[in-house]
Amino acid sequence: MGEEQKRYLFIGDFDSLLIGLFSKRGEVIWVSSCEEALNQTGIFTLIIMDNDVYTEKISSELSLHYPTSPLIISNGKDKSEHSGSLRYVKFEQLIERQIILQEKLARRELRINDLRKVHEDAKKMLILVHDNPDPDCIASALALRALLKRNKQTAIIGHMGEEVSRPENVAMIEHLDIDLNVISLDDLKEFDSIAMVDVQPPFFGGAITEVDSVIDHHPQVAPYEAKFSEIGPDEGATSTIMTSYLRAAQVEISERLSTALLYGIKTDTVTLNRDANPGDIEAFTYLYPISNLGLLRKIEKAEIPRKEVMWFGKALADHWIEDDIFFVNLGRIDREYLIPKMADFGMQVKGMEWSVAFGIVSKSHLVISVRNVGHVKSAGRVVADLFKEIGSAGGHRSSAKAVIPLNKVRKEIGKGSQEHIKKWVTKLFKNAVAEKSENGKS
């Protein structure tokens, strides 16, 4: 049997736009009074009554006449008590949200034309992500390539770090068949144009000062040259920005790309629990039904190599708590992803408002990952204030990162031993977290 025809009964004064939207879903009967409504026959999918018409007496009469048809009061305010299956819905707010979304997409469409012009003449372009590629930057790079209507031959996705090692990220690359190339600074001259996603030129410590385009959700921390720039610090993920770009350009989002973007938003916002805003939620909701959730579960359950388990025990053996800040020192490690994992773990300890995990990576850099509960002083601002002069530093309210060359650490504190670094990091964060901002708020 085919799907039953939907029928809607409207009672009272309504905007014709709302009536038009429901008419696309099925038959609409629009009357001005309860008497006319009671003269109708059949079963209605939904009865919608204007709040100015509603009374308990009319509601009772309608319930008797249409016992299987739910009733919604439009434009009404929520009430603590109401009878039967009554619901109160402000339809004009629902319409307004859609209008706001379409306005946003329309503005983005104009920006897309500018972005495409920047790269249109490039025979070979580079989409550059940060040195430790995560799901958000990888998905965003894939999305930009789709937006520019390019392929893996004409738009290379590259990074200048070590090979990806975090199990979930490796699984993402393998299961979604993503090409991710390790490049060097010398390789940059081979490309006609360079785009950056989820990262900005200052991240590279002055090695790159000018690019063609930048799309990122991190706050801008220093000036740089770019022909096109889209910085959205209010968004929880760059994948959110790229999803809106694809929708604005009316580019069909494949299951593979949707899965990558959904995972990018999910990881950067910790399943919409960290630094997520309505834009992230809207993008997540849009992508969810067109993503491969079975594949996503496989990616998320990627196994940790046995030989790396010992690092967790070693790290926990060197942790301390001061002023409700969880500190953990991972020492010298090869796998940078273990540092943010331990920072996340620290926030699970009862009573902790901040978590600071750090370690020396590749014998050359001190990497610090910071987390907080989200309603205290901004982690990104704290980290930027502490380290932007000596390294790459920044982030969001509840999540931040700093990467500092060891030679600058030694210059800053005089020595580079584990004990001296531990004391230095502890003192810096205790003081920074305790300080009040100029307006007296954290």
Domain ends where: 300, 332, 358?
A: 300
Residues 289 and 199 grouped into a single domain: yes
Is 340 inside any structural domain?
yes
Is 223 inside any structural domain?
yes
Domain ends where: 251, 269, 300?
A: 300
Residue 143 has pLDDT above 80, yes or no: yes
Is 1 inside any structural domain?
no
Residues 178 and 287 grouped into a single domain: yes
Q: Write out pLDDT tens, residues 231-269.
A: 999 999 999 999 999 999 999 999 999 999 999 999 999
**Domains in the chain, number:** 3
Radius of gyration of the chain (CA): 27
Is 440 inside any structural domain?
no
Residues 115 and 212 grouped into a single domain: yes
Angle between helices 238-248 and 278-287 (to 10 degrees): 60
Q: Which CATH number covers residue 322?
A: 3.10.310.30
Is the Cβ–Cβ distance between 332 and 359 less than 8 Å?
Answer: yes
Indicate the pairing of strand 399-405 with strand 392-395. antiparallel
Q: Write out pLDDT tens, residues 191-235.
A: 999 999 999 999 888 889 889 999 999 988 788 999 999 999 999
Is 83 inside any structural domain?
yes
The mean pLDDT of 278-304, rounded to a whole number, is 92
User: Does the predicted TM-score (pTM) go above 0.85?
Assistant: no
Take residue 122 and report the two structure tokens written for it.
């490039």
Residues 205 and 148 grouped into a single domain: yes
Q: Which domain holds residue 195?
A: 99-300
Residues 107 and 244 grouped into a single domain: yes
Closest CA to 173 of 160, 164, 162: 164
In the prediction, which pLDDT does 76 show? 52
Q: Which CATH number covers residue 64?
A: 3.40.50.2300
Take residue 77 and report the two structure tokens written for it.
């305010």
Is 439 inside any structural domain?
no
Residues 51 and 152 grouped into a single domain: no
Domain ends where: 300, 318, 335?
A: 300
Residues 278 and 381 grouped into a single domain: no
Residues 262 and 332 grouped into a single domain: no
Residues 41 and 19 grouped into a single domain: yes
Q: Write out pLDDT tens, residues 380-428.
A: 999 999 998 899 888 888 899 999 999 999 999 988 789 999 999 999 9
Percent of the chain whose predicted confidence (pLDDT) is above 90: 62
Residues 291 and 379 grouped into a single domain: no
Q: Which of 6-10, 148-152, 221-225, 261-265 has the lowest mean pLDDT?
A: 221-225
Is 268 inside any structural domain?
yes
Q: State the chain's mean pLDDT as an integer.
A: 89
Q: Write out pLDDT tens, residues 74-131.
A: 865 555 444 445 678 888 777 778 888 888 888 889 899 999 999 999 999 999 999 9
Is 103 inside any structural domain?
yes
The mean pLDDT of 178-198, rounded to a whole number, is 95
Residues 294 and 191 grouped into a single domain: yes
Residues 61 and 124 grouped into a single domain: no
Q: Which CATH number covers residue 136?
A: 3.90.1640.10
Percent of the chain whose predicted confidence (pLDDT) is above 70: 95
Indicate the pairing of strand 71-74 with strand 46-50. parallel
Closest CA to 115 of 237, 28, 36, 230: 230
* Residue for token pair 């937006």: 147
Q: Find residue 47's DSSP bridge partners.
A: 9, 71
